[in-house]
């Protein structure tokens, strides 16, 4: 199964390090990040989970819940948590899903047989309040993810969900944005009364709208 942008994120029930969850219910009316790691007690995964724990206040500020997954059993997750805290300086503060039967991995296409037919690759799914998939990223097992980039994309997704704008290359919170081409100038004047700079008729740059 290949999930695409705009698809409904499959619901599931799972055992996690913070108890039993039903995914859609656990998400509530906010955003979510579901990410898989190949295996517990491995070096790259250890650094990644420590980084997500460090950044969790940033996810919280954006009303985003984070949850990890691997095909290891729950006991391994609990045992590994001590290593993460010891080596990374940040204890786990979000749930890890135990997917030993690979049911959830299958629903989300997290196992890529040509890369590894046993373990999950480094998949990322950003899910919106409507439970639809807004972003997918897949990294190989050997490459650790940039979770600050994932936060940057969430900033863009949340901004564009509220306003008729797109974000340009390398955009960061507070920088200028682009008015979407589907708005003509008359519609744009109503939405952006402070105006914009026209670089080309299809490229209109304006200040980031305030919430």
Residue 169: alpha-carbon gap to chain centroid: 19
CA 80, chain centre distance (Å) = 23
**Which contacts (CB < 8 Å, 24+ apart) does range 106-113 have?**
106/1, 107/1, 107/10, 107/12, 108/1, 108/3, 108/10, 108/34, 108/36, 109/1, 109/2, 109/3, 110/36, 110/69, 112/138
Strand 19-22 to 13-16 pairing:
antiparallel
**Distance between CA 38 and CA 48 in Å, rounded?**
11
Catalytic (active site) residue 146: no
Residue among 9, 34, 45, 98 flagged as catalytic = 45
Active site residues: 45
């Amino acid at each position: 199964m290949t999930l695409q942008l705009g698809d409904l994120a499959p619901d599931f029930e799972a055992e996690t390090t913070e108890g039993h969850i039903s995914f859609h219910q656990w998400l509530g009316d906010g955003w979510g990040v579901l990410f898989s790691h190949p295996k517990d007690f491995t070096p790259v995964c250890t650094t990644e989970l420590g980084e997500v724990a460090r950044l969790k206040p940033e996810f919280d500020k954006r009303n985003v819940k984070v949850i990890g997954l691997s095909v290891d059993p729950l006991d391994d997750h609990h045992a590994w948590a001590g290593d993460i805290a010891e080596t990374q300086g940040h204890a786990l503060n979000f749930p890890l899903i135990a997917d030993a039967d690979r049911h959830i991995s299958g629903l989300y296409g997290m196992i890529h047989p040509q890369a590894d037919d046993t373990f999950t690759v480094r998949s990322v799914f950003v899910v919106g309040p409507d439970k639809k998939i807004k972003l997918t990223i897949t990294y190989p097992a050997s490459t650790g993810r940039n979770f600050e980039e994932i936060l940057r994309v969430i900033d863009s997704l949340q901004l564009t969900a509220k306003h008729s704008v797109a974000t340009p290359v390398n955009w960061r919170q507070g920088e200028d944005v682009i008015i979407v081409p589907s708005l003509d100038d008359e519609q744009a004047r109503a939405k952006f009364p402070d105006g914009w700079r026209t670089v080309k008729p299809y490229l209109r740059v304006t200040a980031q709208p305030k919430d």
